[in-house]
Amino acid sequence: MKVILVEPQIPQNTGNIVRTCKATNSELLLVKPLGFQVTDRALKRAGLDYWDGVNVSLLDDLPSLLQTTDCPFYFFSSHATRSYTEVSYTASSLLIFGSETTGLPSLFLETWPHLFLTIPMMKDCRCLNLANTVSIVLYEAWRQQDFRGAAL
């Protein structure tokens, strides 16, 4: 699976997501512009020694990738109405998350509204932390694949 972060802003979140990607053998794509440098000390500290073995790539143009890919993909937003548990994920699924400060660009909702999913929350909660959201979704997707490759 691939986790895609659209214009992430907080290096500690991205570092924590690197750790989750390492634990699940998932790739990480970071869509520019980033709110930090990939050499940022806070980013490296949050990811600890998990950077080794995680395929992290930078991407300039996510819409072009999505228009040409054969892989299933899903967007995650607190504004969606369909639960993240209502779909079947595959090993090639692309899991797309927006920026901590601005979420996902409206272009994605306008183009692919049927691919927007959410994590249920109480009504008075605005949103979850990005690293927590990625963890919840990624582990559900991996669970659906019987935790393939895991040391249980």
- What's the confidence (pLDDT) of residue 39? 72
Our measurement of the distance from residue 56's CA atom to the centroid of its chain's CA atoms, rounded to an integer in Å, reads 12
Q: What tokens were used for 89?
A: 């994920």
List the beta bridge partners of residue 12: none
- What's the confidence (pLDDT) of residue 100? 94
- What's the confidence (pLDDT) of residue 41? 67
pLDDT in tens, 89-118: 999 999 999 999 999 999 999 999 999 999
- What's the confidence (pLDDT) of residue 81? 94
Domain enclosing residue 122, as ranges: 2-143
> Does any domain span residue 148?
no
- What's the confidence (pLDDT) of residue 42? 61
- What's the confidence (pLDDT) of residue 44? 64
Residue recorded with tokens 């989750």: 20
Is-contact 20 138, C-beta < 8 A?
yes
Q: What tokens were used for 30?
A: 């970071």
- What's the confidence (pLDDT) of residue 50? 66
> Does any domain span residue 100?
yes
Is-contact 95 76, C-beta < 8 A?
yes
- Dist CA 23 CA 108 (whole Å): 28
Q: Low-confidence residues of the chain, pLDDT below 50?
A: none
> Does any domain span residue 150?
no
> Does any domain span residue 104?
yes
**Distances, alpha carbon 16 to alpha carbons 3, 13, 56, 75, 131, in Å:** 13, 5, 13, 20, 6
- Dist CA 4 CA 40 (whole Å): 19
Residues 20, 21, 23, 25: what is their CA dihedral angle, to the nearest 10 degrees? 160
Per the structure, how many domains does the chain have? 1
CATH number of the domain that 76 lies in?
A: 3.40.1280.10
SS3 29: strand
> Does any domain span residue 38?
yes
